[in-house]
Amino acid sequence: MSTHILKRLLDRLRDGGSPVRTDGGTAAAGSETAGGDSDLGSALSSLRESDAVRSAPFWLPPFLLMGFFVYGAISWNIVISLTDFGGLTLPTYDPSTFDLEMYRRAFSDGQFWIATRNTFVLLISFTGLSLAGGLGLAILVDRGIRFENWFRTVYLLPFSLSFVVTAVFWRWMYNFDSGLINAFLRGIGLDFVASKWLTGSIDTGALGAIPLVPDTFYFKLFAVIFALLWQFSGYAMVVYLAGLRAIPNDQYEAARVDGASILRMYRRVILPQLRASTVSAAVVLMVFALKAFDFLYVLFGSNPGPTADILSTMMYRQAFSANEWAYGSAIAVVLFVVALTVVAPYLYGEYRRGEL
């Protein structure tokens, strides 16, 4: 039977007569493909009606598995956040006792607001800096250089490493006595800048290290962001590079004929067209920022302290160190809502543009 199919297939390809059906194709367009044979056409349309049924064996099992773990677990988490599940006892799910106590507790918890603030500082500065860095890299790499592949491979390399490995490397980089950052600063005569980066304290020489409290400059958090920038700017570069390559050559040509300077060309012609790349890279980077837990956990354990605590570390600490399960669930729901406010508009936009 299969050889028969292939033969028909080849015939069809040789004909080249059948119109290409687009995504928005309807049953009418489909019956054209069928070659106008009315019997076939009606058979086809009835088949088409059962497409939902015929496709189900393929998408339904993965959907159930994924749906159970993603949406089932999120719903379960929301239910737990309404209980007062804590300690070593088992949770009881009695709807009559459900309340919003854990959310009230979160909103009146100073630690929660500090973690929320840090989460947004991390989210916005990490995403912004990675996009800027990635765009810079992409423009440099796109300038028709030699060994382009080689450069690109090196810049993307840190992205293939795990947060754990990155954290181990950067703990060493930031080491006060023998880390590379301070060695570099001392090497160029900037001894006074050398700091205990990961404790958020600055070395004053004679007086020793003084901790920066209050940490108005997010010293510790920016040490983390800088390391994450090292890991993720290559990712933004790859996305921007794809965007740059999609811009037709004649636009570069036109800008050059107009005598536009390189800077002006990028600002006026190229950047406006990278909007889609920016949006998709930003969404993914924000999601990574929300997942930066692994990195902070390796560097600081489950309590990074008030200057680097984010919602995901706080959630883990409350749930898995303090056994405050319901409270941890409530914080997780807040985190989920933050992620949703980033992702929902993006997905809706994709849907509107028909790219879903």
Quick one: the chain helix, strand, coil %, rounded to 5?
70, 0, 25
With b for 16 or more beta-carbon neighbours within 10 A and e for fewer, the 33-53 pattern comes to bbeeeeeebeebeeeeeeeee
Which residue, 61 or 87, is less far from other proteins as judged by CB? 61
CA distances, 344 to each of 116, 244, 256, 284 (Å): 20, 26, 40, 13
Answer yes or no whether residue 323 interacts with other proteins by CB under 8 A. no
Strand order in the sheet with 195-196: 195-196, 201-203, 209-211
User: Position of tokens 């040509």?
Assistant: 253
**Least distance CB 110 / other proteins (angstroms):** 20
- For 292-345, the DSSP string reads THHHHHHHHTT---TTT--HHHHHHIIIIIS--HHHHHHHHHHHHHHHHHHHHH
Answer yes or no whether residue 25 interacts with other proteins by CB under 8 A. yes
Answer yes or no whether residue 34 interacts with other proteins by CB under 8 A. yes
**Least distance CB 6 / other proteins (angstroms):** 8
Which residue, 207 or 337, is less far from other proteins as judged by CB? 337
Question: 101: how many CB neighbours lie within 10 A of its CB?
Answer: 16
**Least distance CB 168 / other proteins (angstroms):** 4
Q: Which stretch binds other proteins (CB under 8 A): 105-113, 193-201, 207-215, 314-322?
A: 314-322
Q: Which stretch binds other proteins (CB under 8 A): 97-105, 108-116, 158-166, 192-200?
A: 158-166
Site residues for other proteins, window 198-227 (CB under 8 A)?
Answer: none
Site residues for other proteins, window 226-285 (CB under 8 A)?
Answer: 230, 234-235, 238-239, 242, 249, 252-253, 256, 280-281, 283-284
- Quick note: the x/- pattern for other proteins over 97-136, rule CB under 8 A, is ----------------------------------------
- The dihedral of CA 22, 27, 31, 34: what is its sign? positive
CA distances, 132 to each of 75, 126, 145, 293, 349 (Å): 37, 10, 20, 23, 23
The first and second tokens of residue 302, run together, are 């489950």
Angle at CA 215, nearest 5°, toward 214 and 220? 150
Number of residues that bind other proteins (CB under 8 A): 126
- For 166-193, the DSSP string reads HHHHHHHHT-TTT-HHHHHHHHTT-GGG
Q: Which stretch binds other proteins (CB under 8 A): 62-70, 99-107, 124-132, 202-210?
A: 62-70
**Least distance CB 217 / other proteins (angstroms):** 22
Find the binder of other proteins among 9, 190, 210, 246 (CB under 8 A).
Answer: 9
Find the binder of other proteins among 114, 121, 180, 322 (CB under 8 A).
Answer: 180
Which residue, 213 or 271, is less far from other proteins as judged by CB? 271
Find the binder of other proteins among 100, 124, 132, 140 (CB under 8 A).
Answer: 140
**Least distance CB 214 / other proteins (angstroms):** 27
Strand partners, 203: 209
Of the candidates 224, 197, 227, the one whose C-alpha atom is nearest the C-alpha of residue 212 is: 197
Answer yes or no whether residue 304 interacts with other proteins by CB under 8 A. no
- Quick note: the x/- pattern for other proteins over 79-98, rule CB under 8 A, is -x----------x-------
**Least distance CB 160 / other proteins (angstroms):** 4
Which residue, 96 or 178, is less far from other proteins as judged by CB? 178
What is the rounded distance in angstroms from the CA atom of residue 74 to the CA atom of residue 80? Answer: 10
**Least distance CB 96 / other proteins (angstroms):** 21
